[in-house]
């Protein structure tokens, strides 16, 4: 049960590219995956915020269901993946089943959710290994390698028999409804300070698997050569542009998820009150005032620090604040590496970043998922998959 809890954490992001910092997941553990089916079409139809919100809501529900149990997970823009001990199977399946119902009833979207044993995806070609990256003393991001997560997703997509509802009985579902407490989507899109927001996905070419770690390290060095090593200058959440929204249209996902299955009066009160709470929160930040556990003087800094703007799950993912000339250099750099058959990549540019949050308390236990506005990770992933498919067609 405490496998992940006992893994020593690292606090240098570059170290997540070092295979020596990864630990093999026990064979009897499980991989759960949730993703929005048809997310690319949904994004094209303007539902990118709802797609993003459903991935974050699934994470929130799973963490609420597991209580104090610490598990590794990764948010992917249009979904999330989790690695859990077998004792947590019922709770995870119930949480993701509830997230499926939420997707259908609130957003008219289909959230595919399934579960497979780690043993089903490991062998000569795949493994599931985890690295633990420290955010603060009570908050960590999991990094993954070995290809097992992607393999699990492929299995779940191909066979509905792996759906979560096949692994938990109806009576348990009825007694354990999904809890989305802590989900928040209350920020304005965070405007780029340098002109563009770049969402980036990079995957080492499968033919280079033996040197994948070196390729990722080389790519990160190339990115740093273009952008420099000052994280604050490249972070997609400039402090001065972090502002809460009072617009009910922008609060649609927050209101829909937090009002799910509530009685009509509570729904009306929440929807009417949330813009006023956001006005108070913005005033506290502008004035540097404190109210309860909300410290307006430091909260924006904490949000930026406790965001997942860069991560690794067999794919290097980053969201960067980028000047147009930097974006052009980055595209040239990546295209050169692709033509050398070293990487596949996806890149999406927008004018701002999208921020979706889990807030269990405002002191330390809050995590903020960063994506590019207008469907950053979803559209970057589509581009990368097309490159991979094109390569397979050429080689086949």
Task: Show pLDDT as tens, one digit a residue, over the chain (396 residues).
Answer: 889 999 999 999 999 999 999 999 999 999 999 999 999 999 999 999 999 999 999 999 999 999 999 999 999 888 999 999 999 999 999 999 999 999 999 999 999 999 999 999 988 789 999 999 999 888 899 999 999 999 999 999 999 899 998 888 888 888 999 999 999 999 999 999 999 999 999 999 988 777 888 999 999 999 999 999 898 899 999 999 999 999 999 999 999 999 999 999 999 999 999 999 999 999 999 999 999 889 999 999 999 999 999 999 999 999 999 999 999 999 999 999 999 999 999 999 999 999 999 999 887 889 999 999 999 999 999 999 999 998 877 765
In sequence order, the β-bridge partners of residue 127 are: 147
Q: In 3D, which of 247, 200, 27 has the Cα closest to residue 122?
A: 27
Distance between CA atoms of 134 and 222, rounded to whole angstroms?
Answer: 24
pLDDT (0 to 100) of residue 111: 95
Rg of the chain in Å (alpha carbons): 20
**Residue tagged 């709470």 (tokens):** 277
DSSP-derived secondary structure for 13-72: GGGGG-GGG-EEPPTT-EEEEEEETTHHHHHHTT-HHHHHHHHHHHHHHHHHHHTT----
Give kind and range of the element (H or E) at residue 372: strand 366-372
Residue 38, sorted as left (phi over 0), alpha (psi -120 to 50) or beta, turns out to be: left
CA 368 to chain centre: 9
Structural contact between residues 176 and 99, judged by C-beta atoms closer than 8 angstroms: no
Q: In 3D, which of 190, 138, 133, 144 has the Cα closest to residue 304?
A: 190
208: tokens are: 């280079």
Distance between CA atoms of 360 and 117, rounded to whole angstroms?
Answer: 29
- The terminus-to-terminus CA distance of the chain in angstroms comes to 44
SS3 for 162?
helix
Q: What is the second-level CATH architecture of the domain 13-180? A: 2-Layer Sandwich (3.30)
Cα dihedral 286, 290, 296, 301 in deg (nearest 10): 150
Distance between CA atoms of 33 and 29, rounded to whole angstroms?
Answer: 13
61: tokens are: 């529900």
pLDDT (0 to 100) of residue 392: 76
CA 391 to chain centre: 27
| Buried-exposed string 7-31: b where 16+ CB fall within 10 A, e elsewhere | beebeebeebbeeebbeebeeebbb
Structural contact between residues 296 and 184, judged by C-beta atoms closer than 8 angstroms: no
CA 351 to chain centre: 20
pLDDT (0 to 100) of residue 363: 76
Which residue ranges make up each domain of the chain?
13-180
């Amino acid at each position: 049960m405490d496998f992940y809890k006992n893994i020593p954490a690292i606090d240098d992001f570059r170290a997540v590219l070092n295979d020596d910092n990864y630990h093999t997941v026990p064979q009897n553990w499980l991989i759960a995956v949730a993703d929005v089916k048809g997310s690319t079409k949904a994004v094209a139809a303007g539902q990118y915020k709802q797609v993003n919100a459903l991935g974050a809501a699934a994470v929130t529900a799973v963490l609420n269901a597991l209580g104090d149990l610490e598990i590794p997970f990764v948010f992917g823009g249009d979904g999330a993946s989790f690695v859990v001990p077998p004792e947590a199977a019922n709770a995870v399946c119930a949480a993701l089943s509830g997230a499926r119902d939420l997707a259908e009833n609130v957003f008219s979207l289909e959230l595919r959710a399934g579960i497979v044993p780690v043993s089903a995806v490991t062998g000569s070609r795949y493994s599931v290994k985890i690295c633990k990256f420290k955010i603060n003393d009570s908050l960590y991001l999991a990094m993954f390698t070995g290809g097992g997560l992607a393999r699990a997703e492929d299995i779940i997509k191909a066979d509905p028999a792996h759906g979560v509802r096949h692994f938990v009985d109806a009576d348990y579902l009825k007694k354990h409804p999904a809890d989305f407490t802590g989900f928040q989507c209350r920020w304005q899109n965070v405007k780029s300070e340098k002109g563009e927001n770049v969402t980036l996905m990079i995957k080492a070419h499968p033919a280079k698997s033996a040197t994948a770690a070196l390729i990722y390290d080389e790519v990160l060095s190339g990115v740093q050569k273009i952008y420099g090593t000052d994280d604050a200058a490249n972070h997609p959440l400039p402090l001065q542009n972090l502002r809460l929204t009072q617009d009910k249209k922008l609060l649609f996902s927050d209101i829909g998820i937090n009002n799910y299955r509530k009685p009509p009066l509570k729904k009306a009160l929440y929807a009417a009150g949330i813009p006023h709470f956001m006005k108070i929160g913005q005033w506290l930040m502008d004035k540097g005032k404190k109210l309860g556990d909300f410290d307006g003087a430091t909260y924006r800094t904490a949000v930026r620090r406790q965001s997942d703007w860069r991560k690794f799950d067999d794919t290097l993912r980053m969201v960067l604040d980028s000047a147009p000339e930097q974006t052009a250099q980055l595209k040239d750099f990546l295209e050169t590496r692709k033509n050398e058959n070293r990487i596949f990549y996806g890149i999406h540019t927008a004018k701002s970043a999208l921020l979706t949050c889990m807030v269990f308390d405002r002191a330390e236990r809050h995590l903020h998922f960063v994506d590019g506005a207008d469907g950053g990770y979803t559209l970057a992933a589509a581009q990368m998959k097309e490159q991979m498919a094109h390569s397979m067609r050429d080689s086949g």
